[in-house]
Amino acid sequence: MEAQTSLKRVIGRRVLLLFVVGDILGAGIYALAGKVSGHVGGALWLPFLVAFVLAALTATAYAELVGKYPQAAGAALYANKAFGIPFVTFIVAFAVMMSGITSASAAARAFGGQYLAEFVSLPTVVGALIFLALVTLVNFAGISESIRVNVVLTLIEAFGLLVIIAIGVYALIAGEGNPGRALEFHPVNGAFLGVLGGTALAFYALLGFEDSVNLAEEAKDPQRDFPRALFGGLAIAALIYLAVAFTATMLVDTETLRTSTGPLLEVVKVAGLSFPPKLFALIALLAVGNTALINMLMASRLVYGMGREKIVPAVFAAVHPSRATPWVAILFTVGIAVALVSTGDVGGLADTTVLLLLCVFALVNVSVLVLRREQVEHWHYQAPSWAPAVGAVVCVLLALPITGRDGSVYLRAAVLIAVGVLLWFVNRRFVGGPRDLDTTKNTTKISP
């Protein structure tokens, strides 16, 4: 019997659309709405709107590349095809993996904040570390995910946001709140830099769309279905986020939102439409908890895959004899997460995630233009050349210090990438060089 060498194409357009929407919805909006408002004042919705427009530019590059190369692995695969330099491919894969750990760390900090305080009073760091310990136990025990679990978690996350939107609609009908506050624009560093800083942070709430390319090998018709699902998913998530942002700033003053680790819980507590705060806190905990869990699972598996391919020291490929889980890779990724949680806050860790992925997105935008020289026989979506070109410039712009990003974010990102560079050269020195990076074997998932 001939061995199965490719994944089965079973995912239709509707399921793919649901996956994209669910991938974007997550910890970002639950945890960072207040932090974004700190950049622009009451017009909280504006950075989210700009972020979605700019993200759509990069989405055009992904839509073309996934149709052209309908394989899993995303950015690392495209960089490998465009430049063919193993070190560059490795750094891209490692940056995506590290962004998963920083995203999980940000979610863990959010988990240990005011949402958890509805049930038990603990210092934020303690709550975050306890949560990471639970995630590690689940990761070590092993987990089998199914599409049903993904759908249920997506529905829970979406339900919480729809509750906020319902609260906003009721408030408008009842004449409650201050709708005018949602139009107040008080940027901290001037209009341009204020929106730019808020947009850079708002990017964290929608980075998950990149993960959907990992389903390329399982989609029934990726060339036609993926662009529609990607752009449709972005549009749906944009409408939800804008409505949530408008409601939050209409009902809660900017200073309260800015200082809160559970900004949407503040909305529920002041709403005229009664909804149990503890129930909403539980929904929020599931949303941010799911983000952290998925990111840590995928990050540890990616490190394991790199170790198996001898791209990093082979010790990372060690598997526990009874649990059959990559225990060394798990300890490595959770060790980094513990250090990040202990030294950074939600905003800083989320900003580090954004910085790492903005660099990856810039490279993807360049890659799609470089790969125009390579033709394929099948039809696929082709982005207008100006879109990825502008997308690359925008990603570089948002990655620059002019956004008001704290210097500690750049230092943190540099240290994380330096860890990868060290592993690469240690492996070359003592093992004699890695195998070629097979990007089709390793995927990662970032869902803020």
Distance CA 389, CA 384 (A): 9
Burial grade of 21 (CB within 10 A; 0-12, 13-18, 19 or more) = buried
The two structure tokens encoding residue 390: 């502008």
Distance CA 400, CA 403 (A): 6
For 13-431, CATH number out of 3.40.50.10800, 1.20.1740.10, 3.30.1280.10, 3.40.640.10 equals: 1.20.1740.10
* Residues facing 289 on adjacent strands: none
Half-sphere exposure of residue 148: CA atoms within 13 angstroms, side-chain side: 1
Phi-psi region of 433 (alpha: psi -120 to 50; beta: other; left: phi over 0): left
What ranges do the domains of the chain cover? 13-431
Phi, psi of 61 (to 5 degrees): -65, -45
The two structure tokens encoding residue 272: 């005229």
Predicted TM-score (pTM) of this structure: 0.83
Tens of pLDDT along the chain (448 residues) come to 344 444 456 666 777 787 777 777 777 788 878 888 877 877 888 888 888 988 899 999 998 988 888 776 678 888 888 888 888 888 988 898 888 889 888 888 888 888 888 888 888 888 888 888 887 877 776 544 434 555 677 788 889 999 999 999 998 888 888 888 878 877 776 777 778 888 888 888 777 777 666 666 666 777 788 888 888 888 988 899 899 989 999 898 888 888 887 889 999 988 877 889 899 999 988 888 777 777 787 778 778 877 777 777 778 888 877 767 788 888 888 999 999 988 878 888 888 988 998 999 999 999 999 999 888 778 888 889 999 999 999 999 989 888 888 899 999 999 999 998 998 888 777 766 555 444 444 444 444 5
Distance CA 351, CA 103 (A): 9
CA geometry: angle 98, 239, 212, nearest 5 deg: 35
Distance CA 129, CA 338 (A): 7
DSSP states of 272-302 as a string? SS---HHHHHHHHHHHHHHHHHHHHHHHHHH
Residue 121, SS3? coil
How would you label 293-332 residue by residue, b for 16+ Cβ within 10 Å and e otherwise? bbbbbbbbbbbbbbbbbbbbbeebbeeeeeeebbbbbbbb
